[in-house]
Chain A
Amino acid sequence: DAGVTQSPTHLIKTRGQHVTLRCSPISGHKSVSWYQQVLGQGPQFIFQYYEKEERGRGNFPDRFSARQFPNYSSELNVNALLLGDSALYLCASSLHSGSETQYFGPGTRLLVL
């Protein structure tokens, strides 16, 4: 069975641009969470979606937005990119929105110049 997939794997953008990152969860999983991991730090929670509804939001500015589609895949959008947005963006999926393990995808490495 395929695990969590993310695209693209790498991305280079310039300040002020917009980026869309994509995630497909493990088959049968209905919840997707997004995390940002800056070099040398642990992942930081950005959003969680379950059944196409936002269930949680971390301490990130409104430039960050996300959505989940009927097939449970998800997009993370970041507007007006800043240099500090350079990071590894991880998507994790879980069965539901409760007490289950989250499984991570390979991530998208974003570099903002």
Chain B
Amino acid sequence: GQNIDQPTEMTATEGAIVQINCTYQTSGFNGLFWYQQHAGEAPTFLSYNVLDGLEEKGRFSSFLSRSKGYSYLLLKELQMKDSASYLCAVRDEDQAGTALIFGKGTTLSVSS
């Protein structure tokens, strides 16, 4: 079966650091993606990991451990505009093409 778990909600304050975890169980694995989705809008691409380790991109970093079926998204120097849903998605190599399997998303609320 396929299962992707991430916390439903998280809260943090401006300037802080937050880590959003994602665990996955899929029949195959060909990369993990993080997307940001503001309410009523389309998901926008944040990061991609296919090998173990940390990928850093500005204030955002993403980590992957394939042996543990685990990833996290790290957001530094939080800003109010970071309030959004963060979606973890796995590309399952058993799926034809590049279908992504998404978690339910983590709603992050940043307060001042």
Contacts and interface: CB of A to CB of B under 8 A. Distances in A.
B101 to A, nearest CB: 7
Interface string B38-50: 0001111100101
A25 to B, nearest CB: 13
Contacts of B76: none
Contacts of A55: 96-97
Contacts of A31: 97-98
B86 to A, nearest CB: 10
B44 A104 contact: yes
Interface residues of A, number: 28
B95 A102 contact: no
B42 A45 contact: no
A90 B48 CA distance: 20
Nearest to B97: A55
Q: How large is the interface on B (under 10, 10 to 19, 20 to 34, 35 or more residues)?
A: 20 to 34
Nearest to B87: A42
Contact of B89 (A42, A94, A99, A105): A42
Interface stretch (B11-19, B55-63, B64-72, B102-110): B102-110
B42 A106 contact: yes
Contact of A48 (B31, B42, B98): B98
Interface string B74-108: 00000000000001010100011111111111000
Contacts of A35: 100, 102
B33 interface: yes
A61 interface: no
A33 interface: yes
A57 B45 CA distance: 22
Nearest to B8: A40
Contacts of B33: 101-102
Interface of A: 31, 33, 35, 40-45, 48, 50, 55-58, 90, 94, 97-107
The 7 closest A-B pairs by CB, nearest first: A42-B102, A55-B97, A56-B96, A104-B42, A48-B97, A97-B97, A56-B97
Interface of B: 4, 30-31, 33, 35, 41-45, 48, 50, 87, 89, 91, 95-105
